[in-house]
């Protein structure tokens, strides 16, 4: 039985089971935040929403987008010199002094772990020449991601009437960020020591996001507070390959709200291993190869989140040729399996050759051509 038939039978079985069994839907939590949302970070599916499209001030959760833009536009080994403007930025600080030099990567840890406003200004000026131009990049990137109700005027989240976003937009931005392994590494770091010029010791940074300690699987991302924004938290947690993202804005109980949201999400989403490493998913021909066919196998497991109510929204596509030219090397990538949710790609796994197929010698290829010609000629003569 080929892979596509097995997959179709799998989803049919799941649908039948869902039809026969009545699942008690978990009760949504009571959230005190003015705005909140919980999404699955892979599919973007909304699992909980409260005033999630309402425009609000993001405070230092802004720095999630500052990190994304810096990673995409900066060189991590660049040496950045803090200007007077950066060193004198108000609010939470990395304690930069004018003229101090640090690598971009160190400043990014300072931004995300202890919310250094001064560090965001130094990074913005280095990459774009000014905070205003950097904020424009941030807004453009937000719009491209799909965060249409977001507009940034600075890199730190300091109050500005035109510096706004929504809970849903922050979730979208964070989900995009998690696709970058370095983003994930930085926002999930609990402790980091970075240089401190002129001192015998480094800057000892402990992440202000308590969820990294409070919640099983917690892996980021950013706290925020101003008088206008209230207490804000974007938090992520990953269990069994399920990445959830919770956003609470203007919440006096942001830790409790976030834990309740994440608990609610993990009670609803289940992970499913739909492709296993070394599964044979397709067989293709090898032109001029000593082996006439080669099997394509999955390079790794492929695990996706599944939801009880919309399993039929998932589909799988195998993207691989029917024939390749020899030589083929074992482990060579020859295709890919794509998993779609609502026709949007959410996961892929490479298809690799399971064995070698060396190219035939010139004389073997010539002999095969002659034999093919003779067979064709014989058939033609018999039909006359």
Active-site residue set = 60, 63, 115
Question: CA–CA distance from 370 to each of 290, 292, 364 (Å)?
Answer: 17, 18, 10
Answer yes or no: are the C-beta atoms of 228 and 255 closer than 8 Å.
Answer: no
Query: How many Å apart are CA 100 and CA 183, to the nearest integer?
Result: 25
Place of tokens 């298809």: 351
Q: Which residues lie below 8 Å from residue 19, measured CB to CB, with a gap of 6+?
A: none
Nearest to 368 by CA among 311, 252, 287, 309: 287
Query: How many Å apart are CA 104 and CA 122, to the nearest integer?
Result: 9
Number of H helices and E strands in the chain, helices first, is 11, 17
Specify the 3-state DSSP secondary structure of 367. Answer: helix
Answer yes or no: are the C-beta atoms of 324 and 343 closer than 8 Å.
Answer: no
Query: How many Å apart are CA 209 and CA 259, to the nearest integer?
Result: 13
Q: Which residues lie below 8 Å from residue 12, measured CB to CB, with a gap of 6+?
A: none
Query: How many Å apart are CA 138 and CA 165, to the nearest integer?
Result: 12
Answer yes or no: are the C-beta atoms of 14 and 30 closer than 8 Å.
Answer: no
221: preceding bond cis by omega (within 30 degrees): yes
Q: Which residues lie below 8 Å from residue 237, measured CB to CB, with a gap of 6+?
A: 211, 215, 216, 217, 218, 219, 243, 244, 246, 262, 266
Question: CA–CA distance from 161 to each of 151, 248, 292 (Å)?
Answer: 10, 20, 67
DSSP 172-185: HHHHHHTTSHHHHH
Query: Angle at which helices 131-145 and 117-128 pack, to 10 degrees?
Result: 90
């Amino acid at each position: 039985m080929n892979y596509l038939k097995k997959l179709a039978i799998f989803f049919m079985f799941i649908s039948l089971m869902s039809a026969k069994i009545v699942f008690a839907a978990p009760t949504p939590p009571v959230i005190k935040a003015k705005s909140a949302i919980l999404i699955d970070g892979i599919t973007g599916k909304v699992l909980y929403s409260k005033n999630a499209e309402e425009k609000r001030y993001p405070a230092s959760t802004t720095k999630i987008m500052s990190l994304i833009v810096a990673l995409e536009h900066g060189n991590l080994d660049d040496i950045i010199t803090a200007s007077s403007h950066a060193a004198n930025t108000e609010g939470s600080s990395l304690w930069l002094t004018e003229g101090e030099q640090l690598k971009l990567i160190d400043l990014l840890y300072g931004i995300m772990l202890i919310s250094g406003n001064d560090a965001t200004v130094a990074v913005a000026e280095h990459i774009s020449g000014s905070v205003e131009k950097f904020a424009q990049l941030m807004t453009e990137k937000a719009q491209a991601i799909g965060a249409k109700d977001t507009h940034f005027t600075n890199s730190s989240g300091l109050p500005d009437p035109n510096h706004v976003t929504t809970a849903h937009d922050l979730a979208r931005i964070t989900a995009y960020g998690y696709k970058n392994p370095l983003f994930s590494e930085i926002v999930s770091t609990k402790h980091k020591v970075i240089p401190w010029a002129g001192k015998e010791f480094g800057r000892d940074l402990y992440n202000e996001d308590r969820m990294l300690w409070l919640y099983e699987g917690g892996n980021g991302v950013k706290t925020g507070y101003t008088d206008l924004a209230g207490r804000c938290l974007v938090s992520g947690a990953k269990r069994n390959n399920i990445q959830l993202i919770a956003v609470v804005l203007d919440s006096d109980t942001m830790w409790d709200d976030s834990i309740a949201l994440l608990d609610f999400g993990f009670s609803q989403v289940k992970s499913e291993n739909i492709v296993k490493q070394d599964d044979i998913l397709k067989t293709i021909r090898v032109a001029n190869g000593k082996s006439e066919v080669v099997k394509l196998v999955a390079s790794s497991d492929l695990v996706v989140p599944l939801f009880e109510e919309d399993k039929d929204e998932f589909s799988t596509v195998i993207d691989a040729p029917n024939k390749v030219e020899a030589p083929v090397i074992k482990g060579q990538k020859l295709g890919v399996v794509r998993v779609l949710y609502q026709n949007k790609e959410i996961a892929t796994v490479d298809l690799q050759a399971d064995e070698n197929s060396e190219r035939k010698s010139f004389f073997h290829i010539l002999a095969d051509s002659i034999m093919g010609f003779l067979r064709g000629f014989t058939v033609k003569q018999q039909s006359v």
